[in-house]
Structure 1
Amino acid sequence: MRVAVISAYYKEPLHVLRKCHESVFAQAGNVTHFMVADGFPVSDIDSWAGVVHIKIPNHADYGDTPRGVGAACAAANGFDAICFLDADNWYEPNHVETMRMIVDETGAQVVTATRKILTVDGRMLGICKESNSVDFNDTNCYFLTRPAFPACAAWLFKDARESISGDRVFWNAVQAGGYMRFHSIEPTVNYVSTLAFHYEMFGEIPPDDSKVIAKLPGHQHFQMFSYAQYKAMGGARGR
């Protein structure tokens, strides 16, 4: 099985990009890392083994267009499965093999993984309670086989104002596709979070500079605020 891992990147430091890529390169089997520069390509990546380096203009849509472009390239080049991995996150060494074994054993068209939530300084908050493939599934936690590739169009063909919550748009597309799904309870994805909601999930008070994504009264679309701004507006928690 040829597996493509799609990582959109923007202005992350080189050591962060390298950690992401090394976690993909360490996966067993035939795995290729599609690293898609969202307007600011890093020349070092051209020499990294196992990488298809795609460079596109910046779209300012939280990586949605780069994910869609990477997925389209992987599909057109005959890959059997597609995963997504944000540039500041990384896989456990057994991630792809775990997903692949579940496909072989269950016939699932979409496998979803469990994630660990970490702070920017590397402290583990805990195992995510939200991304459970029932209420929601995070972008980094998908393993899509070819029958589910049409869901990837959601990254590209949506109202641009929905990009701030593009992960939920994609989750809705996967659900609407009616694909056979299976959820892995093994936490094989490491997710670095700056969201206030994740601190609250584990009983901690969020830092003032953590992020809140919320709809204000009278507004149709989500907006992003710092936790300090959100508190000043009278909010207590948000996603």
Structure 2
Amino acid sequence: MRVAVISAYYKEPRHVLRRCHESVLAQAGNVTHFMVADGFPASEVDSWKGVVHIKIPNHADYGDTPRGVGAACAAANGFDAICFLDADNWYAPNHVETMRRIAEETGAQVVTATRTIFTADGRMLGICKESNGVDFNDTNCYFLARSAFPACAAWLFKDVRESISGDRVFWNAVQTGGYTRVHSIAPTVNYVSTLAFHYEMFGEIPPDDSKVIAKLPGSQYFQMFSYAQYKAMGEAPGR
């Protein structure tokens, strides 16, 4: 099975990009890393082993267009499965093998993974309770068989104002697409979060510079605020 891992990247530090890529390089099987530069390509990525380096103009849509472009290229080049991995996150060494085995054993078109939440300074908060493959599934936690590739159109063909919550748009596309799904309880995705919600999930007070993504009263679309701004507005943090 040929597996494509799609990573949109922007201006992340080189050591962060390297951590992401090395985690993909460590995966067993026939795995190719599609790294899609969202307007600011890192020239050294051209020489990295196992990388298809795609360079597109910046779209300022939180990586949604790069994900869609990478998925389209993987599909056109005959890959059997697609995963997504944001540039600041990384996989456990057994991630792809775990997902592939579940897909092959169950026949599921979509396998979802469990993630571990880390702070930006590398401290582990714990196993995520939100992204469980039932209520929600994070972008980094998908394994899509080829029959589920049509869901990837959701990254591209949506109202640009929905980009801040593009992970929710994609999750909705997977749910409404009627694909068979199985969730893996193994925490094989490592996710770096700056969201206030995740600090609260583990009983901590969020830092003032952590982020809140929320709809204000009367607003149709999500917006992003710092935790300090949100508190000043008299709102409770959350999403």
TM range (shorter): over 0.9
Give, in angstroms, the shift of residue 222 of structure 1: 0.4
Corresponding residue of 2:68: 68
Corresponding residue of 1:85: 85
Q: For residues 144-174 of structure 1, what are the alpha-carbon distances to aligned partners after superposition, in whole Å with 9 as ceiling and x for unaligned?
A: 0000000000000000000000000000000
Identity %: 89
RMSD of aligned Cα (Å)? 0.4
Q: What is the identity, as a one-letter code, of the residue corresponding to 1:66?
A: P
Q: C-alpha separation between the residues in 1 aligned to 2:14 and 2:104?
A: 36
Aligned to 1:6, the other structure's residue is in SS state: strand
Corresponding residue of 1:220: 220
Aligned to 1:68, the other structure's residue is in SS state: helix
- 1:26 and 2:26 are equivalent in the alignment: yes
- 1:5 and 2:9 are equivalent in the alignment: no
1:156-235 correspondence to structure 2 within 5 Å: 156-235=156-235
Q: Taking structure 2 as the reference length, what is the TM-score of the superposition?
A: 1.00
Q: C-alpha separation between the residues in 2 aligned to 1:196 and 1:214?
A: 11
Give, in angstroms, the shift of residue 179 of structure 1: 0.5
Aligned to 1:237, the other structure's residue is in SS state: coil
Aligned to 1:44, the other structure's residue is in SS state: helix
Aligned to 2:40, the other structure's residue is in SS state: coil
Q: C-alpha separation between the residues in 2 aligned to 1:159 and 1:38?
A: 19
Corresponding residue of 1:151: 151
Give, in angstroms, the shift of residue 36 of structure 1: 0.1
Q: C-alpha separation between the residues in 2 aligned to 1:197 and 1:78?
A: 39
Deviant stretches of 4+, over 2 Å: none
Give, in angstroms, the shift of residue 70 of structure 1: 0.1
Q: For residues 32-51 of structure 1, what are the alpha-carbon distances to aligned partners after superposition, in whole Å with 9 as ceiling and x for unaligned?
A: 00000000000000000000
- 1:124 and 2:127 are equivalent in the alignment: no
Give, in angstroms, the shift of residue 9 of structure 1: 0.1
Corresponding residue of 1:238: 238
Q: C-alpha separation between the residues in 2 aligned to 1:219 and 1:114?
A: 31
Q: What is the identity, as a one-letter code, of the residue corresponding to 2:103?
A: V
Q: C-alpha separation between the residues in 1 aligned to 2:153 and 2:25?
A: 26
The size of the alignment, in residue pairs, is: 239
| Stretches of structure 1 lacking an aligned partner (at least 5 in a row) | none
Q: What is the identity, as a one-letter code, of the residue corresponding to 1:154?
A: A
Give, in angstroms, the shift of residue 235 of structure 1: 1.2
Q: For residues 80-104 of structure 1, what are the alpha-carbon distances to aligned partners after superposition, in whole Å with 9 as ceiling and x for unaligned?
A: 0000000000000000000010011
Give, in angstroms, the shift of residue 29 of structure 1: 0.2
Q: C-alpha separation between the residues in 2 aligned to 1:236 and 1:223?
A: 14
Q: What is the identity, as a one-letter code, of the residue corresponding to 1:108?
A: A
Q: C-alpha separation between the residues in 1 aligned to 2:220 and 2:236?
A: 20
Q: C-alpha separation between the residues in 2 aligned to 1:230 and 1:217?
A: 13
Give, in angstroms, the shift of residue 236 of structure 1: 1.9
Q: C-alpha separation between the residues in 1 aligned to 2:133 and 2:197?
A: 18
1:100-139 correspondence to structure 2 within 5 Å: 100-139=100-139
Q: What is the identity, as a one-letter code, of the residue corresponding to 1:134?
A: V
Q: What is the identity, as a one-letter code, of the residue corresponding to 1:133?
A: G
Q: C-alpha separation between the residues in 1 aligned to 2:15 and 2:68?
A: 25
Q: For residues 213-237 of structure 1, what are the alpha-carbon distances to aligned partners after superposition, in whole Å with 9 as ceiling and x for unaligned?
A: 0001111100000000000000121
Q: What is the identity, as a one-letter code, of the residue corresponding to 2:236?
A: A
Q: C-alpha separation between the residues in 2 aligned to 1:198 and 1:108?
A: 29
